[in-house]
A and B are shown apart, each in its own frame.
Chain A
């Protein structure tokens, strides 16, 4: 493959960017392809027709305006939570706490949405109410992640352990709130959920009959924002430096402890935003059992997107499309939706242990290995 290099014309700048994008995308794309092939084998062994199954999946994910809208709906929290995890990775931190940060963000936004107007006794205009609800979600997510961040920075306690523990605390707290103080007291209701948020707190949909709302656009904007932060600002440079080599960063004069805390806080802010958007743009309330597992899917999405915002967006759309299209796949071919979980797990496996892909397809290791987390002698 490399042999004909000297005979080709020198590529221009656009060509170089394209080449480097293709190089970067190679392993993830092959991981997806291999996972789909193995998924197809599993479907075939279970007695189904893999071509029809994937056709149904594709149709369900992208085959109509409604399908695209639903894929965007699924992709929105995935993009934001994926950015959260990716940003943390860039800073050398493994934020497994996105799940809890997302849940707290959702509950905080819901509270602002349904309780605040009553508390203040006024109708809050949408132009204030929506940003306030979203802002509260961001704040709670940021605080929840800053705690393990500070613990890592100032005591060395590993964020992997702490974020997992914080997940339990957050999810149980949310369960308590939704069964107790924040429960919808409507006499017909027995489910653990908040009341509906006020009309003024709802993010409008983009098109009249479709569910996709402005949260999707906001998520894409956040992807651009994270890219800008990481590669075009001093702060982003410091984050990446701490991620690449904390000792070198310290000797370069960067306040590593503060930066670790800040990186986790920004990561949590994005996860909290994901939860807030789900409440404000889609469900208009928070219910126990909503938004389950997004924080963990986000880890796979961040890795598949190679922790780059553009990759995260594409990976989020892929995962969102798969989750959305699975319904149609089941509807048309009776293949159970669990197959999608298997494929997603295989994708994660191949991306995390990319040696397998490199071995199968004979690809040489070109770029630096991505170090995901430190603190255990690594």
Chain B
């Protein structure tokens, strides 16, 4: 027993001394050092989606000489704590990923007025001085791939399988797809199905429903399926690829993230999160963070394996539409929210 007591006493002393061994954090409180932090939504940093794209934008800031760091959130009640971990250490810019962090970001912005916040996908209903809401013209991205689908379809029938239309970005993707197809050829039949019949926790994680919906569309002659809604959309695109039809991904270049569908992945409707995040960090560093909503760019992913199948006129038309959308001469006509 005595031996055990002394072992425990030793362990206790080690435990006391332990905090002293913690590595020192970078000196972010000083003016010259630019420190950028990223707080993920509940999920991992290498999720091949939002969190990862945003992190890559933050990493680009290292060119500006910044120290960058991320915290992965494991429980929604930690949002405030995770943001505060960066803010208390004197971080200059904090990027929070996902609309679920919108409220926590706004609260933190009030508490830490000297810190700049970049909220990815957080629509700012009212402008807060030190918060830039990075939003994307999803309707433009949808428009681009809708036009592509209309041009590439051989049957003249295309479809989209999306999450719930209660989420404005999803609705904009779907309606943009419809508008883009109509722009090329109003005779093309467009079937956009939203998974609005289930709850919020299921609408983006229902691959079986996505696959079943895509298959029923394919049975009716659809030969291009746009998956726009997390894992639900992934199920649809994978089913389309397995049936030998074209699939179109969403948010990021899903050719890289959905290997099962990659051989038939025509393109993806992309939100250019990485350059968007980097641009805002740069603006913040220059002291010019635009408060309120900042619109990043939309784009479409390269054709990868199917590059040879896409005719040169189609490629040229896509670039023309992209330039017109970005330049502003072409409008999608999709309202910001579902009326």
- List residues of chain A with CB under 8 Å of any chain B CB: 1, 4, 19, 22, 26, 29, 33, 49, 51-52, 54-56, 58-59, 63, 66, 70, 73, 175-176, 178-180, 188, 190-192, 211, 278, 282-283, 287-292, 323-324, 326-328, 330-334, 336-337
Query: Does B20 lie at the interface of the complex (its beta carbon under 8 Å from any beta carbon of A)?
Result: yes
Kindly state the separation between the CA atoms of A179 and B200 in the bound complex, as whole angstroms.
7
B1-12 interface bits toward A, Cβ cutoff 8 Å, 1 = contact, 0 = none: 111110010010
Q: Of the 9-residue stretches B70-78, B265-273, B298-306, B321-329, which lies at the interface with chain A? A: B70-78
Kindly state the separation between the CA atoms of A22 and B4 in the bound complex, as whole angstroms.
10
Tell which of B77, B89, B198 touches A283, judged by Cβ atoms closer than 8 Å: B77
Q: Which residues does chain A contribute within 8 Å of B69, judged by CB atoms?
A: 331, 334
Q: Which residues does chain B contribute within 8 Å of A29, judged by CB atoms?
A: 8
The secondary-structure label for the interface of chain A is helix
Query: Is the CB–CB distance between A290 and B77 below 8 Å?
Result: yes
- List residues of chain B with CB under 8 Å of any chain A CB: 1-5, 8, 11, 15, 18-23, 25, 42, 44, 69, 71-72, 74-78, 80-82, 84-86, 88-89, 99-100, 125, 166-168, 198-202
Query: Is the CB–CB distance between A327 and B200 below 8 Å?
Result: no
Tell which of A19, A288, A337 touches B72, judged by Cβ atoms closer than 8 Å: A337
Query: Is the CB–CB distance between B8 and A176 below 8 Å?
Result: no
Pairs across A and B, CB under 8 Å, 23 listed: A4-B2, A19-B1, A22-B1, A22-B4, A55-B19, A55-B20, A180-B199, A190-B167, A190-B200, A192-B201, A211-B80, A282-B77, A283-B77, A287-B76, A290-B77, A327-B78, A327-B82, A331-B25, A332-B22, A333-B23, A336-B44, A337-B72, A337-B74
With most chain A CB atoms within 10 A of its CB, the pick from B25, B75, B168, B198 is B75
Q: Which residues does chain A contribute within 8 Å of B89, judged by CB atoms?
A: 331
8 interchain residue pairs of minimum CB distance: A179-B199, A55-B22, A192-B200, A55-B21, A59-B19, A55-B18, A56-B22, A58-B18
Minimum CB–CB distance from B175 to chain A (whole Å) comes to 17
Tell which of A73, A175, A326 touches B201, judged by Cβ atoms closer than 8 Å: A175
A1-B3, A56-B22 as given contacts; A327 in contact with B76, CB under 8 Å: no
Query: Is the CB–CB distance between B71 and A52 below 8 Å?
Result: no
Query: Is the CB–CB distance between B81 and A52 below 8 Å?
Result: no
Query: Is the CB–CB distance between B166 and A331 below 8 Å?
Result: no
Q: Which residues does chain A contribute within 8 Å of B76, judged by CB atoms?
A: 287, 289-290
Minimum CB–CB distance from B25 to chain A (whole Å) comes to 6
Q: Which residues does chain A contribute within 8 Å of B202, judged by CB atoms?
A: 175
A191-B100, A192-B200, A289-B42 as given contacts; A327 in contact with B19, CB under 8 Å: no
With most chain A CB atoms within 10 A of its CB, the pick from B72, B88, B99, B202 is B72
A191-B200, A287-B76, A290-B77 as given contacts; A327 in contact with B166, CB under 8 Å: no
Minimum CB–CB distance from A295 to chain B (whole Å) comes to 14
Q: Which residues does chain A contribute within 8 Å of B86, judged by CB atoms?
A: 331
Tell which of B20, B81, B100 touches A70, judged by Cβ atoms closer than 8 Å: B81
Q: Which residue of A is nearest B1, CB measured?
A: A1
Tell which of A283, A288, A292 touches B200, judged by Cβ atoms closer than 8 Å: A288
